Structure 1
């Protein structure tokens, strides 16, 4: 990320010198910087650059231009990640309003807005509202893209995640199966999106208490990610993390700790030391040590996790609880 920021800052400097501070190309440079800071988990910096980009677009293009809608969408996404869900909804609704006026009610970009709103309501814990928006999105995508398009698979995946949170596990599995079937047919058996589907199956079976099945799916996911990304990628860390948690629940604590440590090691190497994903790794280690009744270790890692989450997220974010 630091290298990416360095190059984007160079690009921004050139654009500012050559074109001036109000040029649309400068807005793109701000967007790129915002995107990297978002991935880094530095949400306030991401918002700062997104707002600079929005300001230029409003001045140059007017308040109802599709690029302004795109800027509102980006701000909505960052506020969602930050846990400021009402602000996220506000920006996604602004984006949707422009798109409806400019593109019509059945344009694929409208489906993306509905999907984004569904995602925020999902994060907010308003699952029925999330499903309502996902259904609106699905209707457009089925009409515009057909029933076997990867975007439809992505939406089925979202339905599966929401139904999992609603503790409707059989329904969740049904949607994940639909998603996986499309992905296998359209993308092939070794595509990262297929790994994502296996990962989601693993999560549902974990919550169902079917730990051996959960491990089976997480191992399938891990195998694809190792082949695609190598052994030091954040997606690999995600699989190790999930395997660690399942083994912890199975009572195989040493195996659980081993996988959680593998996940933490990758995240410390690949991400900033105060990235939210590092905090989650500490939290998960705390959980396994707690279940192992090693309470001093559990407190140690729990405090590390809380310290990072308080630093990166505001105090009322659900992940700080």
Structure 2
């Protein structure tokens, strides 16, 4: 936080209030607050960044799509799904128009919209978007890329939510193996994969398989993000629920 604040102050002092780098600093600080669950602090910064980018760059610029996407993500985190959907759709349309259909940012927008629909249990709308994002990431980035692991994980999560455990498990395992190979064993994304796979086993009553995965995930998150990070708290609760079941 102090470094983001210093960067913002320095950009403003050197470049003036009306510069794309100031918008970037506002956006980065907002993302930090969002990741901590400080939504009331994040929203005005995202809105300032969006307004500044529009004024400086016009409505048709990739950075506008990124700002729309980030603000949508904030609203989704707060359960404001109608507001989020409108912004995600705008970002997707803008990215397709500016970047073409075959661009990693388009895959990101497809994925984000799919996750939003999944949160609302609109599974039929979510699945084709996840599949498009996965296919696009593989074609553009190759099979060995963190974005591919992310797409695999999200598609598995969709299937798991529908009780399609046999379809979900191999995707979770692929995502976990890929993340461990690309990011190392002690990365928060690896913890996410471990947690998700553990939840899959938990839902099937396979508690002996789930518990060690939750423990691994918790250990990674406590070391990498701290004991009080929202992700760490979530995994700790998942482990407690498992032990209650036992």
Same-fold call, TM cutoff 0.5: yes
Secondary structure at the aligned position of 1:272 is classed as coil
Matched, 1:75 2:29: yes
2:108 matched residue in structure 1:
154
Secondary structure at the aligned position of 1:259 is classed as helix
Unaligned runs of 5+ in 2: none
1:280 matched residue in structure 2:
234
- Structure 2 Cα separation of the partners of residues 232 and 265 of structure 1: 9
C-alpha deviation, 1:273, in angstroms: 4.3
Change over 3 Å in CA distance of 1:89–1:233 after alignment to 2: closer
TM-score normalised by structure 2 residue count: 0.93
- Count residues in correspondence: 246
Larger Rg belongs to: 1
Change over 3 Å in CA distance of 1:291–1:210 after alignment to 2: farther
Which of 197, 209, 215 does residue 151 from structure 2 map onto? Answer: 197
Change over 3 Å in CA distance of 1:84–1:270 after alignment to 2: closer
Q: Which of 81-90 and 124-133 deviates more?
A: 81-90
TM-score normalised by structure 1 residue count: 0.72
Matched, 1:169 2:123: yes
Change over 3 Å in CA distance of 1:71–1:189 after alignment to 2: same
Which of 179, 188, 207 does residue 253 from structure 1 map onto? Answer: 207
CA deviations over 1:158-189 (Å, ceiling 9, x no partner): 01110010111121111101101101111112
Aligned residues: CA RMSD:
1.7
CA deviations over 1:12-40 (Å, ceiling 9, x no partner): xxxxxxxxxxxxxxxxxxxxxxxxxxxxx
1:226 matched residue in structure 2:
180
| 8 Å contact from structure 2 (residues 36, 230) kept in 1 | no
Which of 101, 114, 118 does residue 72 from structure 2 map onto? Answer: 118
C-alpha deviation, 1:272, in angstroms: 3.5
